[in-house]
Amino acid sequence: MTATPGATPTIVLVGHGMVGQRFLEALAERGLTATHRVVVLCEEPRPAYDRVQLTSYFSGRTPEDLSLTDLEFIKDHGIELHIGDPAETIDRAARTVTARSGLVVDYDVLVLATGSYPFVPPVPNKDATGCFVYRTIEDLLAIEEYAKSRATTGAVVGGGLLGLEAAGALKGLGLDAHIVEFAPRLMPVQVDEGGGAALLRTIEQMGLTVHTGVGTQEIVTGPDGAVTGMKLSDGSELATDLVVFSAGVRPRDQLARDAGLTVGERGGIAVDEQCRTVSDPRVFAIGECALAADGRVYGLVAPGYEQAETAAATIASDEAAFTGADLSTKLKLLGVDVASFGDAHGTTEDCLDVVYSDSRAGLYKKLVIGADGTLLGGILVGDAEAYGTLRALTGSVPPVSPESLVLPAGAGAGDRLGPSALPDDAIICSCHNVTKGTIRGAVTEHSCTTVPEVKKCTKAGTGCGSCVKVLGQLVTAELEASGVEVDKGLCGCFAQTREELYEIVLALRITSYRELLDRYGRADARGGEGCEVCKPTVGSIIASLAPAIGASGYVLDGEQAALQDTNDHFLANLQKNGSYSVVPRIPGGEIAPEKLIVIGEIARDFGLYTKITGGQRIDMFGARVEQLPLIWARLVDAGFESGHAYGKALRTVKSCVGSTWCRYGVQDSVRMAIDLELRYRGLRSPHKLKSAVSGCQRECAEAQSKDFGVIATAGGWNLYVGGNGGATPRHADLLAQDLSDAELVRLIDRFLMFYIRTADRLERTSTWLERLPGGLDHVRDVVVHDSLGICDELERLMREHVAHYRDEWAETVGDPEKLARFVSFVNAPDTPDPVVSFVPERDQIKPDLPLLSIGLRPADDVLEGSAQR
């Protein structure tokens, strides 16, 4: 059929990905959707979604969560969106586009946003059963289904961004995952040899196997035509059931080629600085299919957005030009921060490198500095906290020494630099080219007072999101500089900070969240129910102060139960299939054979999955909610207690075997670890706490990556604080050295209570220590030298905690009223949850998770004009 052209000019957009959606928004912003008919031909069976966050599907996000398309926007602007109906031919003479369904649309302006396609090396059997690419949601669904039904091992061809994400996805699906990269290092475009080495170590520690410097020669198949292995260029063969090709992308320009449009020698539709094709002024090309005027095809979303803006402005007869783009990137691959910006590889003549490398922590930071001191670029692996500031400083001489920009906190760099020191022309959001000056203007000229308001006003932070933290710091700084009082309240219910609420609860002995809300909550929140931010926060404060204020220390007593999150509510960690894990405390990792046998018998009798954790204890997975008290009862009878794996509390105090067994040990680290864990067990805090005790300087217990860590010396104990081995690794700082047992315990008492008293909600000790004015020096003044005169109180609060500790599992199994909450269905307490199911794996079990329903729509299910589905 042929669409009847009217007097209204028509814009046809071919492709509805991230760049295509941004083009539609740019048209709407300029009023072009009101003066033009806009038709979109979309190949995929769904509207535009966030392809940058594609891998998050395997972390539980649904396709709906990834969607970038507000259907109300489509409806309100009269956009005709044809889903699953791609353009197949272009007749430039007649100015028509024909879709697969037979739909023919006349155009006055045609915009090609066809994106790119995955490159698959021309190796034998590349199309065999079990071979996939990693590009769309449909690709992910196919990989997930095949991995679940037919594979135990998977290999990814390509060690770039998408290759690492694909390997992480295979690992998450339970497969043994391999990465095959032809270059000598991972991510060769973004990082150098040092960065690649740091990334390699970290990824291998996650259990992935990496093969660099080798190529794929052939896909090996079995009699049924399915993948059984890969032959590599070094002559070796890799056994695998599934292969994912992620070896780069190529511009999708075939539609343009067939229409006679000029394309580059290596692909890409040739366009000028206004994004018009050089062959036809009525046809534009944007995004990964376009060969820009500078001779590059840009494979990042930020340049694509800028091209979309340029094309829309040109169509609106505004002056605009795309002359190139910032290729800086900040990624989180398998939980590892990786960033590069500017001239990351140091190609400029006479440039110098400033490098900080810590292979043990997986950190690598390199700055490229010009001969005149200009920051030219850099690479960050393992810690990209400073990315926003460093990228904005690129091209200028930093106002501080380069080494201070890469050294970690506590390493002696005194001249730190924050976002407020950046010039106004510094680009803060590279996705939308938003400068610091524009952000300041949103606050001072447009009266924006919050980050969401600034986002809406400037679009900063609405792309990849890597600039949001810097954005928040700038908004706060600008408000304060303007004399505006910044709301630092905990949430919409309380104007006080967590620290202020702690002081109120302690001073007035408030034992009820309801009393605190009604007396000190914001006026419009009083009498209400509170929110998901303040309820668990106040619950934690009351629990940590329970003995001192006369409250119940049991978190499920009375009103306290309603304040807890899911894990605390059931005294166990909720898992992805609705089951729970049970982690008994094993102080110092020391356990007698009889107790090991009990754990084994419980795991066997209840069919639980067992795993030895990094904190030297045993985790049992797969318990249904009604089974929890039965498991706890047997553990309590055997002398176990809750390990608080579910709580914002002390988790473990890890230890080496110490002087008792080790020929290098100088102190009894096991005894000290057990004493510390039993002293601080059940201590509720703003975030989880982890600790370790090493019996000598060989540091086998890794104490310097813990919230508080202890290392033995010939003269006693050294105490380190503020470490974190999680998503943002940080070495702990030395607080005091050569301490006696009594001195060590006294300082830890003070440190922990001072942290609990002053930290923000969900703030680890590492972040707290860096945020606290004065940092480590201030903490040392307070807890060692008692500069505030509060150490007696801090010690008293800890003594009261220790004296009143009660095991939460024992409290529960001994009270029939408390046991009543542990059922899947209140009206059928003996009925197990049918959704909780398992399948066998490696002689144990794993969750049996059905494929998520994504609601595919057929090609003829379209949104045209103002019609609704």
303 located within any domain: yes
Q: Are 654 and 801 in the same domain? A: yes
Determine the residue type at 794: L
* Predicted pLDDT at 300: 82
> Which tokens is 817 given?
């009223």
378 located within any domain: no
Q: 590, 645 in Cβ contact below 8 A?
A: no
Determine the residue type at 592: A
Q: Are 153 and 75 in the same domain? A: no
Average pLDDT over residues 811-834: 77
At 84, is the pLDDT very low, low, confident or very high (cuts 50, 70, 90)? Answer: very high
Domain termination residue (choose one: 218, 247, 276): 247
Interior angle at CA 225, CA 223 and CA 227, nearest 5: 105
* Predicted pLDDT at 274: 96
Q: Are 750 and 773 in the same domain? A: yes
83 located within any domain: yes
* Predicted pLDDT at 829: 67
* Predicted pLDDT at 816: 86
* Predicted pLDDT at 238: 95
691 located within any domain: yes
At 724, is the pLDDT very low, low, confident or very high (cuts 50, 70, 90)? Answer: confident
> Which tokens is 620 given?
């049992």
Give one DSSP letter per residue of 173-233, joined into a string: TT-EEEEEESSSSSSTTT--HHHHHHHHHHHHHTT-EEEES--EEEEEE-TTSBEEEEEET
Q: Are 586 and 609 in the same domain? A: yes
Domain termination residue (choose one: 315, 336, 358): 315
**Separation between Cα atoms, residue 715 and residue 149, nearest integer Å:** 59
Q: Tell the burial category of 830 from Cβ atoms under 10 Å away from its Cβ (0-12, 13-18, 19+).
A: exposed
Average pLDDT over residues 821-849: 76
Domain termination residue (choose one: 247, 264, 294): 247
Q: Are 198 and 163 in the same domain? A: yes
pLDDT tens track for 59-72: 667 888 788 888 88
Q: Are 100 and 52 in the same domain? A: yes
Average pLDDT over residues 222-232: 95
CATH of residue 655 = 3.30.413.10
pLDDT tens track for 801-821: 999 999 999 999 988 888 888
CATH of residue 157 = 3.50.50.60
If residue 352 lies in a helix (H) or strand (E), which one and from where to where?
strand 352-358
**Within a 13 Å sphere around the CA of 107, how many CA atoms are in the beta-carbon half?**
29
Q: Are 218 and 306 in the same domain? A: no
* Predicted pLDDT at 191: 82
At 133, is the pLDDT very low, low, confident or very high (cuts 50, 70, 90)? Answer: very high
Q: Is the pLDDT of residue 553 over 70?
A: yes
Q: Is the pLDDT of residue 415 over 50?
A: no
Q: Are 236 and 299 in the same domain? A: no
Q: Is the pLDDT of residue 240 over 80?
A: yes
Q: Are 637 and 704 in the same domain? A: no
Low-confidence winner among 65-74, 300-309, 554-563, 637-646 (lowest mean pLDDT): 554-563
217 located within any domain: yes
Q: Is the pLDDT of residue 604 over 90?
A: yes
**Separation between Cα atoms, residue 591 and residue 610, nearest integer Å:** 16
User: Where in 405-537 does DSSP place strands (E)?
Assistant: 427-429, 434-435
User: Token pair 């005709």 is at which residue?
Assistant: 80
Higher-pLDDT residue of 790, 359: 790
Whole-number average pLDDT of the chain? 86
Q: Tell the burial category of 395 from Cβ atoms under 10 Å away from its Cβ (0-12, 13-18, 19+).
A: middle
**Within a 13 Å sphere around the CA of 794, how many CA atoms are in the beta-carbon half?**
23
206 located within any domain: yes
Give the distance, in angstroms, between the CA of residue 469 and the centroid of all CA atoms in the same chain: 13
**Separation between Cα atoms, residue 5 and residue 433, nearest integer Å:** 37
Q: Is the pLDDT of residue 473 over 70?
A: yes
At 828, is the pLDDT very low, low, confident or very high (cuts 50, 70, 90)? Answer: low
* Predicted pLDDT at 418: 63
* Predicted pLDDT at 726: 66
Give one DSSP letter per residue of 514-574, joined into a string: HHHHHHHB-TTTTTS---TTHHHHHHHHHHHTHHHHT--S-TTSTTHHHHS-HHHHHTSEE
At 826, is the pLDDT very low, low, confident or very high (cuts 50, 70, 90)? Answer: low
Q: How far apart are the two ends of the chain, measured CA to CA in Å?
A: 22
* Predicted pLDDT at 410: 45
* Predicted pLDDT at 381: 86
Beta-bridge partner residues of 81: 40, 863
Q: Are 766 and 685 in the same domain? A: yes
* Predicted pLDDT at 96: 96
Q: 106, 91 in Cβ contact below 8 A?
A: no
**Separation between Cα atoms, residue 71 and residue 869, nearest integer Å:** 10
Interior angle at CA 61, CA 624 and CA 454, nearest 5: 130
Q: 671, 641 in Cβ contact below 8 A?
A: no
Q: What are phi and psi of 41, to 5 degrees?
A: -105, 115
> Which tokens is 50 given?
């966030």
Question: Please, which residues have CB within 8 angstroms of residue 402's CB and are 6 or more apart in sequence?
Answer: 354, 367, 369, 375
Beta-bridge partner residues of 117: 250
Q: Is the pLDDT of residue 838 over 90?
A: no
Domain count, the chain: 5
Question: Please, which residues have CB within 8 angstroms of residue 453's CB and are 6 or more apart in sequence?
Answer: 442
Q: Is the pLDDT of residue 226 over 70?
A: yes
Average pLDDT over residues 472-501: 81
Range of the domain at 599: 581-642+807-844
pLDDT tens track for 745-784: 999 999 999 999 999 888 899 889 888 878 888 899 999 9
Q: Are 165 and 222 in the same domain? A: yes
141 located within any domain: yes
At 862, is the pLDDT very low, low, confident or very high (cuts 50, 70, 90)? Answer: very low
* Predicted pLDDT at 770: 82
Q: Are 688 and 699 in the same domain? A: yes
Q: Is the pLDDT of residue 345 over 90?
A: no
**Separation between Cα atoms, residue 723 and residue 726, nearest integer Å:** 9
* Predicted pLDDT at 663: 83
Average pLDDT over residues 1-6: 44
Q: Is the pLDDT of residue 4 over 50?
A: no
Average pLDDT over residues 478-500: 81
Q: What are phi and psi of 847, to 5 degrees?
A: -60, 140
* Predicted pLDDT at 850: 46
Virtual torsion, Cα 22, 24, 26, 32, nearest 10 deg: 170
* Predicted pLDDT at 206: 80
Q: Is the pLDDT of residue 26 over 50?
A: yes
**Separation between Cα atoms, residue 135 and residue 162, nearest integer Å:** 9
Residue 574 CA: distances (Å) to CA of 378, 562, 565, 826:
41, 17, 10, 18
pLDDT tens track for 276-298: 999 999 999 999 999 999 999 98
**Separation between Cα atoms, residue 9 and residue 813, nearest integer Å:** 74
541 located within any domain: yes
